[in-house]
Chains A and B, each alone.
Chain A
Amino acid sequence: MRELLPLSLLGGILGLDVVCFPQMMISRPLVGATVAGAFVGDTITGLLVGVTLELIALATLPFGASRYPEWGSAAVVGGAIAAALRTQAAGSITVGVLATLATAWVGGWTLVKLRQWNAWLAGRKRGALEAGARGAVVGLQLGGLTSDLLRAMALTALAYGLLFPVSNAAVHLWTFSQPLSRAVTVGAASAVAAAAAWTIFHSARGARWYFAGGLVIGLLILAFR
C-alpha cells in the first residue's frame, strides 16, 4: 500500500480534470488507467483496462448538469489494481474494469455532492458576491477547485484501499481462463460502444452507412492480418 498516497494524488489531479480544471480529458479512462498502470509497473495491463473502459465511456458524455460517472479517479483505481495484480493475469483486467465502474458510480455521486457544497458556499457569500467583492468571487472559485481536488484524492484513496484487498482475493479464486475473461469483459464493453455510436451519431445524415462501412473495413483488417 506504499503506492496509496501517490495514487491518490494522481487520482486527485485526474478527478479535477473531469469538470473543474483544465478539462483536457486526461481524465478519460484510456489515459487514467494507462498512466496508473505505468505508475504501478505494468503499462500494458493499464492500457488494456483503459481501452475496455474507453469503449464504455463513449456512452457517458458530460453534458451540463447531468449526472455521469466520474472516470478520472476511478480509472486510476482500476488501472492500478489490474496492474498490481498482473501476476494473476486471468482475472486482473476484469477485476480492474469492475473496480473502475464501481468507483465511477460513487464518483458521480460525489460530484453531485460537490455541486451542492459549492452552492452552499455561494449561498454563504451571497451578500459579498452581489456586492461585487473580488475576494468573494476568487475565494469561491479557489474553494471549489480545492474541494474537488480533495474529493477526488479521498475517493481514490478510499476506493483503492477498499477494493484492492477484495480484488486481490477475487483474482486468487478466479477460475475462468484469461481469454474467456477478457472476451466477456471487452464483449460487454463493445456492446455499449456500438450502442453509444448509434445513439450519438445516428441523427447525422448517412451516419449508419458510414458506421457500416467502417465496420466492414475493421472486420476486413482483422480477417487479412
Chain B
Amino acid sequence: MTAAARSYPAPDPTPRVSALTWLSVFVRTLAIQGSWNYETLLGNGVGFALEPVLRQLPGGIHTDAFKSAMARESAYFNAHPYLASVAVGALARAELSGVPPERIERFRTAICGPLGSVGDRLVWAGWLPLSSLVALVAFGLGAQPLAVVLTFILMYNVGHFGLRIWGLYVGWTRGLAVASALGNPVLRNGPAYIARAAAAVAGIAIPLAAARVVGSDGLLLDGALASAALIAVGLVRVHGRVEGWKLVLVLIAVFALVSVIR
C-alpha cells in the first residue's frame, strides 16, 4: 500500500448522503460546464459538483483530506456534460469510501473517452435532432406555437434529465466499477435506433415545415423543395469544406440585398 493510500480511511461500502446533498449535487451538475475552458475543460465543474459530498469527509472542509479531494476532482476532465454525472456519482462514492487517490485518478483518466463518445452519439447526434425534428413535424401539421415549443422542450428534457439522474444513480451505486454500466443496451444500441427514427422523421419534417412557412403557393413550395434537394446534394458532396449555415447566410444576404436595391 502506498503512503497516499494509507492516509485515507478504510473503504466504506455504503457511505450515506442526504437527499438534500444529492439535490445540491444534481443542481450543480447542471452547471458543470460553467467555467469550461481550453485547459481543464470541465474539470473545475466536476470539483464544483462534488463539493457538497466532499464536505462529508471526516473532519469537514478544513482537513487535508477535503483539500486533496477538491484539488484532485477539479483537475482536467472531459466528458459529455450530461454523462459527466456518471463520473460525478462514481467519484462521490470513491471519495467517501476512501478509495486510494491513484485509483481515483486512473479512473478519471480512463472514463473521459467513453463518456464523451457515448454522450455525443446518443445526445448531440441522436436525441437532440430527433426531438427537434418531432417538433418540426408538429409545426408542419399545424400545431400552435405553444404546442410546438412544448413538444420540443418536454421530449428533449425527458431524455436529458433522465440521463443525468440515471448517471448519478448508476455512478453512485457502482462506484469505480461503473464502466460496465456503459454497456447498457440503451447506450450501446440506442444511438443507431434513434438515428433511424430521426432519419425517418427528418424525411417527414422537412417538406411539412417548409410548406407551412411558405404558405399556400404550391408552385413556390415545389421550387423551394427542388432547390433544397439540389443544394443539399451539393452540401453533402463538399462535406466538411462548406458549412451549411454560413452558405445560407451568404445566400439570404445576397437575396436581401437584391430585394432592397433593385
Residues in A lying within 8 Å of B, measured CB to CB: 19-26, 28, 30-31, 34-35, 38, 43-44, 46-48, 51-52, 54-65, 69, 91, 93-95, 97-98, 101-102, 104-105, 115-116, 118-119, 121-123, 129-134, 137-138, 140-145, 148, 170, 173-176, 178-201, 203-208, 210-219, 221-222
Please name all residues of chain B whose beta carbon is closer than 8 Å to the beta carbon of A23 when the two chains form the complex: 30, 33, 81-82, 160
Closest to A102 in B: B249
Please name all residues of chain B whose beta carbon is closer than 8 Å to the beta carbon of A20 when the two chains form the complex: 31, 33-34, 36
Please name all residues of chain A whose beta carbon is closer than 8 Å to the beta carbon of B221 when the two chains form the complex: 183, 222
Are B128 and A118 in touch, CB under 8 angstroms? no
* Known pairs A54-B136, A133-B70; A210 contacts B245 (CB<8 A): no
Docked complex Cα distance between A22 and B259 (Å): 40
Surface stretch bound by A, among B7-15, B177-185, B191-199: B191-199
Known: A193-B202, A215-B206. 20 other contacts (CB 8 A): A23-B82, A24-B160, A59-B244, A62-B124, A65-B38, A69-B245, A98-B252, A119-B39, A121-B37, A123-B39, A131-B67, A184-B251, A191-B230, A192-B232, A197-B206, A198-B232, A206-B196, A207-B195, A213-B200, A214-B201
Assess whether B74 is interfacial by the CB under 8 Å rule. Answer: yes
What is the minimal beta-carbon distance from A163 to any residue of chain B, in angstroms? 12
Contact with A along B147-180 (1 / 0, CB 8 A): 0110011001100100000000000000000000
Which B residues, 227 to 262, have Cβ-Cβ distances below 8 Å to chain A?
Answer: 227-233, 235-236, 239, 243-249, 251-253, 255-256, 258-262
| Option from B131, B200, B208, B210 in Cβ contact (under 8 Å) with A221 | B208
Docked complex Cα distance between A194 and B206 (Å): 7
Task: Classify the interface of chain B: helix, strand, loop or mixed.
Answer: helix
Closest to B29 in A: A22
Assess whether B145 is interfacial by the CB under 8 Å rule. Answer: yes
| Option from B120, B135, B235 in Cβ contact (under 8 Å) with A63 | B120
Assess whether B223 is interfacial by the CB under 8 Å rule. Answer: yes
Most chain B CB neighbours (cut-off 10 Å) among A31, A196, A215: A215
Most chain B CB neighbours (cut-off 10 Å) among A38, A97, A211: A211
Most chain B CB neighbours (cut-off 10 Å) among A21, A48, A143, A192: A192
What is the minimal beta-carbon distance from B200 to any residue of chain A, in angstroms? 4
What is the minimal beta-carbon distance from B154 to any residue of chain A, in angstroms? 11
Please name all residues of chain B whose beta carbon is closer than 8 Å to the beta carbon of A137 when the two chains form the complex: 44, 47-48, 51, 70, 74
| Option from A143, A183, A193, A214 in Cβ contact (under 8 Å) with B217 | A183
What is the minimal beta-carbon distance from B244 to any residue of chain A, in angstroms? 4
Are B196 and A25 in touch, CB under 8 angstroms? no
| Option from A57, A91, A173, A195 in Cβ contact (under 8 Å) with B236 | A195
Closest to B203 in A: A214
What is the minimal beta-carbon distance from A38 to any residue of chain B, in angstroms? 7
Docked complex Cα distance between A151 and B221 (Å): 39
Closest to A217 in B: B204
A to B CB contacts below 8 Å, 5 in the list: A26-B153, A132-B71, A145-B31, A197-B206, A200-B129
Are B74 and A129 in touch, CB under 8 angstroms? yes
Assess whether B214 is interfacial by the CB under 8 Å rule. Answer: yes
Closest to B232 in A: A194
Are A218 and B156 in touch, CB under 8 angstroms? no
* Known pairs A207-B196, A211-B203, A216-B203; A98 contacts B256 (CB<8 A): yes
> A-B pairs with the 10 shortest C-beta distances?
A214-B203, A144-B35, A132-B67, A187-B224, A191-B231, A204-B195, A132-B71, A192-B244, A215-B203, A195-B235
Docked complex Cα distance between A24 and B30 (Å): 9
Are B217 and A130 in touch, CB under 8 angstroms? no
* Known pairs A22-B31, A181-B259, A183-B214; A28 contacts B152 (CB<8 A): yes
Assess whether B69 is interfacial by the CB under 8 Å rule. Answer: yes
Are A191 and B195 in touch, CB under 8 angstroms? no
* Known pairs A122-B40, A184-B252; A59 contacts B200 (CB<8 A): no
What is the minimal beta-carbon distance from B123 to any residue of chain A, in angstroms? 9
Closest to B195 in A: A204
Most chain A CB neighbours (cut-off 10 Å) among B192, B202, B207, B233: B202
Assess whether B59 is interfacial by the CB under 8 Å rule. Answer: no
